[in-house]
């Protein structure tokens, strides 16, 4: 999600790359699950998130929509996000012990926490949110290790390309002020990047960029 932020108020004022060390280690949370509760619609899922969920849970996107994922409008485009449930508004994947049941293939926003991303000049950097995680003391950890992504360069290129594609389309749709066109775009976006399943035995990124080029041709 795009937010206007004053980094001096919420971070240590620094920006980081995946090779940098950052004080984010929380000693395996020690039973704390604060970041898995009360998050509203903020845990927006990108295509790679959904690919991993469907692959590892062996479920379709439609099945996920029946209990763990919901659709909301984010910056004018309909996108999926993790669903919060119950009186504590907890993530649907949080088990009775307060632990993440999908930790090995959790979404990108969950992997980053308490880090965030700041996008500038067709790229992005990480920043550390210093007021979000209550666990102390924190230990230093390399961001690449913290994220736990195999091919970090491919992943970060995907994150960047997806973000700026959505941003470009949001600007175009806002400029057009055509409600029918906006709805058509959201429907086709959901269909092409989420509802049509990915071949789990094939490289995700190859499939994603093929679909991205197809979407660009349509709009």
94 backbone dihedrals φ, ψ, rounded to 5°: -85, 125
Tell me which residue has tokens 């709009």: 219
Tokens standing for 3? 């937010």
Q: Name the nearest CA neighbour of 169 among 97, 99, 74.
A: 74
From the list 158, 197, 209, the residue with the least C-alpha distance to 53 is: 197
- Please list the pLDDT of the chain residue by residue as tens digits (219 residues): 555 566 767 888 899 999 999 998 887 777 787 888 999 999 999 999 999 999 999 999 999 999 999 999 987 899 999 999 988 899 999 998 888 999 999 999 999 999 999 999 999 999 999 887 777 888 899 999 999 998 999 999 999 999 999 999 999 999 988 999 999 999 999 999 999 999 999 999 999 999 999 999 999
Cβ pair 204, 48 in contact under 8 A: yes
Model's pTM, two decimal places? 0.92
């Amino acid at each position: 999600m795009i937010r206007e932020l004053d980094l001096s108020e919420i971070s240590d004022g620094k920006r980081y790359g995946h090779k940098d060390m950052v004080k984010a280690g929380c000693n395996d949370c020690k039973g704390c699950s604060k970041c898995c509760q009360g998050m509203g619609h903020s845990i927006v899922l990108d295509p790679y998130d959904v690919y991993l969920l469907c692959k590892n849970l062996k479920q379709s996107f439609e099945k996920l929509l029946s209990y763990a994922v919901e659709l909301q409008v984010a910056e004018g485009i309909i996108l999926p996000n993790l669903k919060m449930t119950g009186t504590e508004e907890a993530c649907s994947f949080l088990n009775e012990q307060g632990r993440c049941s999908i930790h090995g293939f959790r979404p990108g926003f969950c992997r980053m926490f308490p880090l965030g991303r700041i996008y500038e000049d067709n790229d992005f950097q990480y920043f550390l949110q210093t007021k979000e995680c209550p666990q102390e003391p924190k230990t230093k950890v390399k961001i690449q290790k913290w994220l736990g992504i195999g091919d970090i360069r491919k992943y970060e290129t995907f994150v960047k390309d997806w973000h700026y594609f959505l941003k470009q389309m949001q600007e175009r749709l806002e400029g057009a002020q055509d409600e029918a066109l906006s709805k058509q775009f959201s429907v086709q976006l959901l269909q092409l990047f989420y509802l049509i399943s990915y071949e789990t035995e094939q490289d995700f990124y190859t499939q994603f960029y093929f679909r991205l080029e197809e979407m660009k041709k349509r709009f």
